[in-house]
Copies of this chain bind each other. A is one copy, B any other.
């Protein structure tokens, strides 16, 4: 197949995805839902961070759509804490797309609250696909190393808020925070960058303040 035919087809996939995403975003807004697309590498602590955030939310109903290739551990964990959460298994696909989210939002039947959409653990592909979100939260970790903004620029460029998780492990690592921040700011001048730890619970109050500001804006 000619290469420009492939490019044309990919463009059509992106265009269709973005069209559905815009429609989902509009419907969520009308229902009083603020949606956050939660992205990060495998094992970055996306679900652990959501648990820390959700338990700090006051007078706001949280909802979660959990994206995974297979398995549903995280959804069960969230449900056992009383959170309204549903699972999407992509069965191989490396990112969530807007048609998948449209169906899940319909199934959840939600209004007035904050919807966290936990994307597939992947620092590459999820950043390319809008899924109806109002904001993108990127969860990076000190264990992944300080060169990640340089190697995976799109995710850092598109993020509205960046968490640096697993900060309790800093004493045992060679994480260079200045180098990391220099890489982030070359791509993204404005997103707040907040150091957190799912273990010590450090930093999550600040994350929740940022979410509440967005909800009340």
Interface residues in chain A, defined as those with a beta carbon under 8 Å from any beta carbon in chain B: 1, 6, 9, 12-13, 16, 41-43, 68-71, 73, 92, 94, 120-125, 128, 141, 143-145, 147-148, 150-154, 166, 168-169, 172
Contacts and interface: CB of A to CB of B under 8 A. Distances in A.
Given A41-B41, A94-B125, 17 more contacts: A9-B9, A42-B144, A42-B151, A69-B124, A69-B152, A69-B153, A69-B154, A71-B147, A92-B128, A94-B122, A121-B123, A122-B123, A124-B125, A125-B125, A143-B143, A169-B172, A172-B172
Nearest to A90: B124
Contacts of A121: 41, 123, 151-152
B152 A169 contact: no
A153 B42 CA distance: 12
Contact of A152 (B16, B42, B124, B144): B42
A180 B61 CA distance: 34
Contacts of A43: 41, 141, 143-145, 148
Given A42-B144, A151-B68, A124 B94 contact: yes
Closest 5 CB pairs of A and B: A43-B144, A94-B124, A143-B143, A41-B42, A71-B150
Contacts of A166: 143
A70 B150 contact: yes
Contacts of A125: 94, 122, 124-125
Nearest to A147: B73
A154 B120 CA distance: 14
Contact of A70 (B6, B71, B153): B153
Given A1-B9, A42-B123, A121-B41, A151 B94 contact: no
A192 B9 CA distance: 41
A1 B12 CA distance: 8
A151 B124 CA distance: 17
Contacts of A151: 42, 68-71, 73, 121
A151 B9 CA distance: 29
